[in-house]
Structure 1
Amino acid sequence: MAPVTTDPRVAALATAYTELTRASVPALLALYAPAAHFKDPFNEVTGRAAIERVFTHMFDTLHEARFVVATTVCQGDDAFLTWEFHCRGQASAPALLIRGASHLVFDEAGLVTLHRDYWDAAEELYAKLPVLGVLARWAQRRLRAPQP
C-alpha cells in the first residue's frame, strides 16, 4: 500500500507505482506529460512511448517486478518518493531488493514532466551479482575510508 499524502498528484503516482503491472503501464503513462523526461542509471528518454519501452523492457527481462513506495514528500510542483524495487532476474533466482528515490516535477495540468530516479547501481545491483559482485565488493573495500 502506498503511503498517504495530501497531494492528489503524488498519491495517484504512488498508487500507480505500487500497483504497477505490465497491463497497467498505460494507466501509469497517463499521469505523464506527452514530452516527459525520464532518467535512471540505465536509461534517459523523452516522451511517453520511450518511457513505455523502459517499463515494457523491465517486465520482459525481470520476474516478479514490483515497487513499494515508502515515503512521499511534495513541495509545490516538486515531489520526492522513496521506494523499494523487488524483482528476480530469473524465475528461480534469489530475489533482489533495490532501494532508491525518484524526483518528480509536475506541470500546471498535474502531469509529470520530469522523472529522475536515484539509486546506487554498484551497491544495489552489481554487488549482488555473482561475477560482478566480487569486483564491486573489492572496489568498495578499496575506496572505503579507513575506520578508527
Structure 2
Amino acid sequence: MQRNVDSKLSSQSELWLKDFIDVYQTLSTKNLGLLETIYHKEVTFIDPIHQIEGLDNLHRYFQHLYENLSSCDFVIEHVISQEKEAAIYWQMSYQHPKLNKGKIVEVQGSSHIKSQEDKIIYHRDYLDLGAMLYEQLPVFGQLTKWIKTRAAN
C-alpha cells in the first residue's frame, strides 16, 4: 500500500505530506526525534482523549505512549490531499501487555493534518476509542460490546 501512496505524492509541494507518511510508518521509541522533522514547533495535536499544544508536549506524549506499548505500527491506506492539508486513512496495530490479553489490537482511523512552513501545524485523529481501548479491557470490554450490539438493534 505504501507504494501507491508514494506515487501520488510526487510533487514538491507535497513533500511535507510524504515526510509525514514516511515517519509515521517507521515511528518507534528509538526514533521519536523524527517528530521534529515533521511537526511545527507550535503544533496542535488532538485525539479522542487529548489536546496537546506545542512540539515539546507532543514529544513527551509520544514518549509516554510508546513506553507502554510492546509494539505499534501504522499502515497508511489512503490519502486525500489538497494544497496544505490532507486526510489520511490508516490502520494501527498495537500491542499492550495489559490490553486484549497482550495480543495485537487493530484499529482503523483517519487523520486530518494541515501544514505551515512545510511542517504539520495541526493534526487531529479520528478513531473508535471503544475498539482501541475500552473493548480491550476485561470487564469493561464485554460491557462496551454489549452496548454497541444493543444500540445497533
TM norm structure 1:
0.89
Which amino acid counterpart does residue 29 of structure 1 have in structure 2?
E
Q: Does 1:80 align with 2:76?
A: no
RMSD: 1.7
How many residue pairs end up in the alignment? 144
SS in 2 for 1:62: coil
List runs of 5+ in structure 2 lacking aligned partners: none
List runs of 5+ in structure 1 lacking aligned partners: none
Superposed counterparts of 1:30-41, under 5 Å:
30-41=37-48
> Which residue is equivalent to 1:59?
66
Deviation of the 1:103 alpha carbon: 0.3
> Which residue is equivalent to 1:101?
110
CA contact (8 A) 1:34 1:47 kept: yes
Deviation of the 1:29 alpha carbon: 2.5
Decide which of 111, 123, 127 is 1:119's aligned counterpart: 127
Which amino acid counterpart does residue 68 of structure 1 have in structure 2?
V
Residues of 2 paired with 1:29 and 1:74: CA distance?
22
Decide which of 75, 79, 102 is 1:68's aligned counterpart: 75
SS in 1 for 2:148: helix
Deviation of the 1:51 alpha carbon: 0.6
CA contact (8 A) 2:35 2:59 kept: no
> Which residue is equivalent to 1:20?
27
Q: Which stretches of structure 1, 4 residues or longer, exceed 3 Å deviation after superposition?
A: none
Q: Please state which structure has a larger fraction of its residues in helix.
A: 2
Residues of 2 paired with 1:122 and 1:90: CA distance?
18
> Which residue is equivalent to 2:54?
47
